[in-house]
Amino acid sequence: MTQFIRIIVKSLLLQVLLLSTNLWAKPVGLVKSISGRAFVFHQGNVRELKEGMSIEDFSSVSTELGSQLSISDYFDRTYHLSGSGNLSFMKNLLELKSGYLWIQAPSENKKVILKTSNSQLVFSKAEGVVSYDPQTEKTQVLTISGHFDFANIERSNISERVQSGMFSFIDKQYESGTPRRSTPVGKKSYIKIVSLFSGIEPLEKNNFLGGKVVTYEADHNVSKKGRFLASSTPLAVKPNLSNSKELIAKEFNKLKKKQGKSKLPTYPVKINVYWPSHVKKSAINKSPSSMNRLPASVPTNLKKVDNNTFQNDLVKEYKNQQKYNKDLKNLINELDSYKEDYNTNY
């Protein structure tokens, strides 16, 4: 009986503990805006997020492909999660499991820790974009303003401070997961990253790219009435008709200047042609096609050779040149006959 009472007491205490944890799970953020579809996972329940809904502590949010979710917390910080992203909230700790996260923290507050499976970022007043790819296990951080302290999660005491206008990454294939030294980011790379977010602008001006860095739409002066693919070129801007006459006049003056350039003076030059004295005038008047010209190496006074006479003389001389005399030839024949008799008998 006493053992049964103990079991009941333990179960009651466990239920009370669970209820207390549920009561302690207070909201940590609010859905500011949403594009597409996003979901929240909390205590085994799944709900589709709507604008104005609260995000409770120890919950996880996820966005579909092509969607975008903006969440603001109670410390004036805003988190923009791009499509195919997953972000978890645990009190003063965030965990990015996949996707791109744009962080905007304009005021100095308590330090926030953002973790991935292989990295840790600590920030207070900063703005930047953090990405994590679960397939390659690569974490990247791009700082727009302020700074992020970037470190490997296994060696958090060794960190790299990524200042404004710099970026870094952690990859297990690069120096055993040590954060890469901060490197300045170019404008094209920046535009490529921020183009993943729609309608998000930096909070402050920054000097690393010459003034306030803008998104792809603002950088290319895209009209709000329509959209075009990122791979296509924007529509050409029509010139102002009031200034067309001035432009034509300006170009015409340039053309006049080019045509009016002074040229070098030319003077007639007398050319004398001298012929050898032994060349006859009749040979000069002949056309090249009517003359049978010989190569310069062949003398002109060479007589033609009769091929038949030359061939007869060559055959005659060849017959007179015998290889052996008769006595030597007979000796060779006798030796050959002895050799054949020897091979036959033996």
| pLDDT per position as a tens digit, 74-91 | 899 999 999 999 999 987
| pLDDT per position as a tens digit, 268-279 | 777 777 766 655
Q: What is the DSSP letter of 169?
A: E
What mean pLDDT is predicted for residues 308-312? 72
- What is the rounded CA–CA span in Å between residue 332 and residue 346? 21
Give pLDDT, residue 250: 73
- What is the rounded CA–CA span in Å between residue 100 and residue 139? 10
Strand partners, 87: 61, 96
Q: What percent of the chain is modeled with pLDDT above 70? A: 62
Give pLDDT, residue 194: 85
Distances (CA, A) of 249 to 243, 245, 246, 259, 262: 10, 6, 5, 15, 22
Give pLDDT, residue 278: 59
What mean pLDDT is predicted for residues 109-121? 93
H-only helix segments in 155-280: 187-194, 216-219, 244-259
Q: What percent of the chain is modeled with pLDDT above 90? A: 38
Domain 26-219 = CATH 2.60.120.1440: yes
Residue-by-residue DSSP string for 111-150: -EEEE-SSEEEEESSEEEEEEEETTTTEEEEEEEEE-EEE
Given a cut of 60, whether residue 241 has pLDDT beyond it is: no
Closest CA to 52 of 75, 27, 77, 76: 27
Q: Say if residues 132 and 139 touch (Cβ distance below 8 Å).
A: yes
Give pLDDT, residue 321: 66
CB contact burial 287-326 (16+ within 10 A = b; e otherwise): eeeeeeeeeeeeeeeeeeeeeeeeeeeeeeeeeeeeeeee
What mean pLDDT is predicted for residues 58-78? 93
Give pLDDT, residue 293: 64
Which of 68-77, 150-159, 217-226 is the least confident region? 217-226
**Sequence-separated contacts (24+) of 332-339 with Cβ below 8 Å:** none
Give pLDDT, residue 333: 79
CB contact burial 105-117 (16+ within 10 A = b; e otherwise): beeeeeebbbbbe
Q: CB within 8 A of 331, min separation 6: which ones?
A: none
What mean pLDDT is predicted for residues 97-125? 93
Average pLDDT of the residues of the chain? 77
Give pLDDT, residue 148: 96
Give pLDDT, residue 231: 43
| pLDDT per position as a tens digit, 167-213 | 999 998 898 899 999 999 888 888 888 888 988 888 876 655 555 55
H or E element, residue 315? helix 307-320
Given a cut of 70, whether residue 299 has pLDDT beyond it is: no
Give pLDDT, residue 237: 47
Domain ranges of the chain: 26-219
Closest CA to 29 of 45, 16, 18, 42: 42
Given a cut of 60, whether residue 27 has pLDDT beyond it is: yes
- What is the rounded CA–CA span in Å between residue 210 and residue 220? 16
DSSP-derived pairing of the beta strands 78-81 and 68-73: antiparallel
Which of 118-122, 131-135, 323-327 is the least confident region? 323-327
Phi, psi of 236 (to 5 degrees): -70, 145
Q: Which two tokens stand for residue 126?
A: 């900063």
Q: CB within 8 A of 235, min separation 6: which ones?
A: 223, 228
Give pLDDT, residue 340: 74
Give pLDDT, residue 130: 96
- What is the rounded CA–CA span in Å between residue 198 and residue 233? 18
Structure confidence at residue 99 as a pLDDT band (50, 70, 90): very high
Closest CA to 98 of 142, 149, 63: 63
- What is the rounded CA–CA span in Å between residue 170 and residue 184? 16
Which position has the higher pLDDT, 306 or 139?
139
Strand partners, 55: 29
Which position has the higher pLDDT, 8 or 189?
189
